[in-house]
Chain A
């Protein structure tokens, strides 16, 4: 009973956040609405007892991606964030159709076995188990991902250093 109440509260928060994130013209408001959505999602993970995934959701999506988005907005010119108009587009009907189609396709595996089968055994997702799995069968994947991320990091630093900003004294003013 408690779980059902918590599920509905978190779902409403998540859906509301997602809707506001899409509808708001004000970019900073949009980013914070997106973060509300991430927080709701993290709560849903917690409800499924996947506490590590929930923590990582907060750590990576809210902590890192959110800050990154805010920085990107701050560093972009001509984005002041005060535009309060709503986004309206003429293609909204077809957009809705495509969204519904994607939703159905994603749910297809679940729909095919429709009265949902009872869970055969209780899943016991623990951090320890996850760590062992990452270190034993998936260690190559983990290392390759780490290498990729390091390469991306070095690439970003190089790209950022390559562009020399003109000095303030050189400007005609």
Chain B
């Protein structure tokens, strides 16, 4: 592999639109989430802010801009005992990894295709492993924020976040391993091409199991409800960002949503066929490039799939109550981990069966693997059910 020298312009063309697009999508998603949650709770949601100085409401679409202006002009308060440097660095560190991993997603933007040399750095051989490595840095930012605030609730939130993220990273990575095994490559573009040639991995029994595990672990990894224990407002105020206000808080908020986009993007890449869809055909020789009905169609498909996943996340947030800490840990270690290890074994056998290239054997393998996985999931459920005890109150009653 050799990298052709890129000029500064090429790099800017590749990175700046990525940041702008996802920042805009962030603004839209906050509006969408508030609207959807409001409808779930039988409210209307933001509907006032539209075009300034007029009565035109535009369904409250101006709300993100108003929020942004408010955030910028709010006072930035640093607690007296806080570690000022780390208090400043933590929100920045929360945003950088989330932004950085966006470039590993195989998004076929039309302007990237015009520059051949530019495709190379994005099509890293180890894109998937890089993705997990850099997403893991988010944990440090959360811990840093909790520690630097010099507030016991912040610290509790930080410690909770670290424990939760470390636990859920294991099923997250193990379920991605299955896709890597089936494709035989860590390259995101090759994974997408394989799915365009064969089938989307979510359609196979092991792929579906892996996708469900991946999605649940992704919820926990991005601190989304029902796994939002690090910021549980009924217990520890706001968790690790209790002491943050103004623009620093906005940075945390932005980082959280960008991380949501990024991890949904990885789920789309691994299980939902990436930019594949009607009107798009993947070229066999140029990896990562596709022939489209019109330029940018593949990127549109990709973003649409991301938004479908985001919509599910919002829906879950509106419907599910928050987990308890022991339930959270038990779920990761006693249910998701054994199931994902078993899933790897099943996928290994299925891969060998597919190599035989015999339709009957493939069908039998699919049926057997579905039965095994379903049995394992319900068995684990039964095993764990008896062990969940009602909560013992130590300081209340």
A residues contacting B by CB (< 8 A) are 2, 28-29, 32, 35, 49, 51-52, 54-56, 58-59, 62-63, 66-67, 70-71, 74, 81, 122, 124, 126-128, 168
Contact = CB atoms under 8 A, between A and B. Distances in A.
Contacts of B130: 51, 54-55, 58
A32 B133 CA distance: 17
Given A51-B124, A124-B1, A70 B129 contact: no
A67 B394 contact: no
Contacts of A81: 147
A126 B125 contact: yes
Given A58-B134, A58-B137, A127-B186, A168 B394 contact: yes
Contacts of B5: 2
Interface stretch (B138-146, B192-200, B262-270, B318-326): B138-146
Interface string B112-144: 000000000000111001101110110110011
Contacts of A127: 125-126, 129, 185-186
30 contacts: A28-B86, A28-B147, A29-B86, A32-B140, A35-B140, A49-B1, A49-B2, A49-B3, A51-B124, A51-B125, A51-B130, A54-B130, A55-B126, A55-B130, A55-B133, A58-B134, A58-B136, A59-B129, A62-B136, A62-B137, A63-B139, A67-B139, A67-B166, A70-B162, A81-B147, A122-B2, A127-B125, A127-B126, A127-B186, A128-B185
Given A52-B126, A74-B159, A127-B126, A63 B143 contact: no
A58 B139 CA distance: 13
Interface string B18-44: 000000000000000000000000000
**10 smallest A-B Cβ distances: which pairs?**
A63-B136, A59-B133, A58-B133, A127-B125, A55-B129, A55-B130, A55-B133, A52-B126, A127-B126, A55-B126
A49 B5 CA distance: 14
A128 to B, nearest CB: 7
B122 to A, nearest CB: 12
Contacts of B185: 127-128
Main secondary structure of the interface of A (DSSP, over half): helix
Nearest to B93: A32
B147 A56 contact: no
Nearest to B5: A2
Interface in B291-307: none
A66 B140 contact: yes
A30 B193 CA distance: 45
Contacts of A67: 139-140, 143, 162, 166
Nearest to B6: A2
Nearest to B3: A49
A2 B3 CA distance: 12
A173 B306 CA distance: 55
A168 B249 CA distance: 37
Contacts of A168: 394
B322 to A, nearest CB: 24
Contacts of A126: 1, 125
A168 B392 CA distance: 14
Nearest to B144: A32
Contact of B125 (A2, A52, A66): A52
Nearest to B130: A55
A71 B162 CA distance: 9
Contacts of A29: 86
A65 B185 CA distance: 27
Contacts of A63: 133, 136-137, 139
B179 to A, nearest CB: 15
Given A51-B126, A74-B159, 18 more contacts: A2-B5, A28-B86, A29-B86, A51-B130, A52-B126, A54-B130, A55-B130, A55-B133, A56-B129, A58-B130, A59-B133, A62-B133, A62-B140, A63-B136, A63-B139, A124-B1, A127-B126, A168-B394
